[in-house]
Chain A
Amino acid sequence: SSELTQDPAVSVALGQTVRITCQGDSLRSYYASWYQQKPGQAPVLVIYGKNNRPSGIPDRFSGSSSGNTASLTITGAQAEDEADYYCNSRDSSGVGNWVFGGGTKLTVL
C-alpha cells in the first residue's frame, strides 16, 4: 500500500483545466514532485519543489500544496497531456525513504 493517495482516473475536456491531487501525512513536511508517464516510456519529472518546472515542461503545468494535499494543475489541457501522473515525496517515517502515489490516469476528451 502507498502512503500517498491519488485518484485512479481523472478526465478533462480539451482546453479545460484539471487538477490531480495527492494526499498523505508526509506532505505536511515535504513537497510533492510530479511525473508524467506515457505508454512504453520512462516517467518524466514535470513539477518539483514548491512549484518548479524542469526545462522543456510547458507552463500550463503547475503545482501547489495545502496541508496534507498536493495538487498538479494543467491549465488548458492538450491531447498530448493524456498520460499517467504520479506524485512522490519522502515518507512519514522520518528515515528519509521515498514513496510514490498509486498514479492517476488522465484522459483528455
Chain B
Amino acid sequence: AQKITQTQPGMFVQEKEAVTLDCTYDTSDPSYGLFWYKQPSSGEMIFLIYQGSYDQQNATEGRYSLNFQKARKSANLVISASQLGDSAMYFCAGGESSASKIIFGSGTRLSIRP
C-alpha cells in the first residue's frame, strides 16, 4: 500500500528566507505522481506543484520547486523568498498510476515570522 510521510509537524521561518518541507513516499509503483497542496486557515486546498517519478527534471512553479530524489523516495518542497502569506498548512500527496485517488501526508504547519 502507498504511504506519504511528512515528519515536520511545524516550522518557523524568517520572512524572505528559503524553506524546505520534507516528504517521503513509499510505493511499489514505478510511475508515481507527487503533489503539494497549501491549506490556509480559510480551509481551501490550493494546488502548488506536481512531479512525476519518471520526470527527469525537478518541477518548478514560481517560488515553488520540488527537490525530487527518486533513490531516496523523497519529494521535498522548496519555497524561495518566503512571504508572510506563505503561512499555512502544507500537504504532500501521492497517487499511483493504477488509481486516480491521491493519498495525503499529515501535513506541516509553516509559520513565517516578520
Q: Are these two chains actual partners, yes or no? A: no
